[in-house]
Copies of this chain bind each other. A is one copy, B any other.
Amino acid sequence: MLFTQTLIPTLREVPADAVIASHRLMFRSGMLRKLANGLFAYLPLGLRSFRKVEAIVREEMNGVGALEIKPTVVVPGELWKESGRWETMGDAMLKVKNRLGGDFVVSPTAEEAVTSLVRDALASYRQLPLTIYQINTKYRDEIRPRYGVMRSREFSMKDAYSYHADEASLDETYQAMAAAYRRIFKRCGLSVIPVRADSGAMGGSDSEEFMVESAIGDNTLILCRDCDYAANVEKASCKPEAAPQPQASPVPALEPIHTPGVKTIEQLCAFLKTDAHTFIKTLIYRARNVALDLSGAPGASGLAKRKSAAEAPEVYPEAFFAAAIRGDLEVNEVKLAAVLKASEISLATDDEVERLTAAPLGFAGPVGLTTIPLVADLTVAALQDGITGALAGDTHYVHVVYGRDFVPWLTADIRTVVSGDRCARCGGELYEKKGNELGHIFKLGYKYTRSMQVSYLDESGQTCIPLMGTYGIGIDRTLASVIEEHHDDEGIIWPMSVAPYQAIIIPITYAGPVKALAHTLAADLEQSRIEVLLDDRNERPGVKFKDADLMGIPYRVVVGEKNLARDVPAVEVKRRGETAVRLVEVSKAEAELSRLVHRELDC
């Protein structure tokens, strides 16, 4: 391809809103342009690399027997109502009314659409396992799209869905996918951290996220210094505190103390001259769509389970809970929501807190709390002699003992793990990293197949519901992450597998024998299926070198008069990212470049 016959509008200046390397370099190299906030267009150079990532993903999916299909991007809202996610997906799902008043969704994911197709097509156990995928446009209505295609509104996702007769079959596909994902990222030249992760609004269990480290990552990862433990902070757990030791002298009886105007932990620490480790912090949450059985729970007698739709599971549409945790720690809302089997939780408003605790703000506590169910963190159970709000103004309790002075409705791990906590597996020190999720695989179980009434006949003619798994990879984000991991101050340094071109030929002057040889060499290389860009612009060599570095094309071949005039005419060959420049005889250039390119492609 001739440079002047394609469209590669390279830029010297950096776009003002581009704060990360991939965003900056995709713009500067002419790969990408912005249509609007969070909406980007790939120009020819960018599309070439995009298609290569797509092709790697497609190959690996076909390799594990997944079948490619092509549903629509706009799908009927009815399907989302069937699954119950019409209500629970939140505002990030772009809903549309068409001219006839019908509800539609610009797909953020496709569990519903694919499951509805499988429902139609599935009849017999003989068709299982069945794994289906698409690589298609998705839309999430991000409030603050940022970082170019790393967090855009519209993007391409490979999403696969598998259906199974039993757990063993689901697990087999899940493991095959996990292995395929590792191959995909390796082939793209990416170092990923596979982490167990909370599956959030997606539901289900047994899941793995494929993360890349990133300073602007929207996930916090908890990693162990001593073993390979890696988890998303949303789900990370740590070694629990030691159980309370029997004490020499018993803890004195519960005692109220007057704490005028003391409303925060900090004020209380100062007032009592102690530290936050001795406090029991109590927070009030509103939870939605709670699937946990609350019969017999405090204050829950007035609550009733309901269905939001015919096929939706029975849930409490709304319920309030108290969560107690050691004063120096934070409640992890994702873990708490998982404990409550709630679709969503959020802190109660000040008014609600005061109404439910019958006390002014700042004096909530577990002792005597009967209006709502209490969930205590494991750290509260481990506290020997605690301090807490007394459900009355300007009053706290001291000498509070778990089990003696209050009995929570549930005790569970709901803390947010932080750097310095100890690894539950090996006791090593945990630390944090920021990461971006590139892929996510998980076992959904019966969530969609049950609500959407998918069934098949087993060997004995019985009607059965299949198990399901789901497996996603963001194509754009994977591409951007390759650049994050492979660049320097001058530009991108493409791994061969996803480079837009494999070699660039730069004639020092585009005229005479130099021009002729540049064209001959380009034609020879293309004959050997090497993808070549020939920079035929009337620009100074310095400009062409800078652009070549910026675009990051692996092999740069410089054709100049001086080297052509040697006894043995030669061209200069340089690998982007390395400093060494080699002279290669003209007569051997095609064979040598072909060898170099294929060596990298094959590894």
Contact = CB atoms under 8 A, between A and B. Distances in A.
B98 A41 contact: no
Interface stretch (A124-132, A294-302, A306-314, A329-337): A124-132
Contact of A75 (B33, B36, B70, B113): B36
A116 interface: yes
Interface stretch (A137-145, A198-206, A318-326): A137-145
Contacts of A78: 36
A39 interface: yes
B76 A39 contact: yes
Contacts of A43: 69, 117, 121
Interface stretch (A5-13, A178-186, A589-597): A5-13
Contacts of A33: 117, 120-121
A363 interface: no
A35 B113 contact: yes
Contact of A76 (B7, B35, B91, B92): B35
A564 interface: no
B44 A68 contact: yes
A153 interface: yes
Interface string A265-286: 0000000000000000000000
Nearest to A96: B96
Contact of A153 (B74, B120, B137): B74
Q: In the complex, which of the residues A7, A70, A91, A117 has the most CB atoms of chain B within 10 Å of its own CB atom? A: A70
A71 interface: yes
Interface in A59-113: 65, 67-76, 78-79, 91-92, 94, 96, 98-100, 106, 113
Interface string A132-165: 1000010101010000000001100000000000
Interface in A190-247: none
A68 B50 CA distance: 12
Contacts of A127: 7
A39 B154 contact: no
A572 to B, nearest CB: 27
A42 interface: yes
A131 to B, nearest CB: 10
A74 B7 contact: no
A175 interface: no
Given A9-B121, A96-B94, A121-B33, A137 B73 contact: yes
A91 B71 CA distance: 24
A523 to B, nearest CB: 17
Contact of A35 (B46, B68, B71): B71
Lowest 8 CB-CB distances: which A-B pairs, in order?
A36-B76, A41-B71, A42-B70, A72-B154, A9-B121, A91-B99, A39-B72, A44-B67
Given A35-B117, A43-B121, A92-B99, 4 more contacts: A7-B121, A44-B68, A47-B70, A96-B96
Interface of A: 4-7, 9, 30, 33, 35-36, 39-44, 46-47, 50, 65, 67-76, 78-79, 91-92, 94, 96, 98-100, 106, 113, 116-117, 120-121, 126-127, 130, 132, 137, 139, 141, 143, 153-154
30 contacts: A5-B65, A6-B67, A7-B121, A9-B120, A9-B121, A30-B121, A35-B71, A35-B72, A35-B75, A35-B76, A35-B79, A35-B113, A35-B117, A36-B75, A36-B76, A36-B78, A39-B76, A41-B70, A43-B69, A43-B117, A47-B70, A50-B70, A73-B73, A73-B137, A73-B154, A74-B94, A74-B106, A92-B99, A94-B96, A98-B153
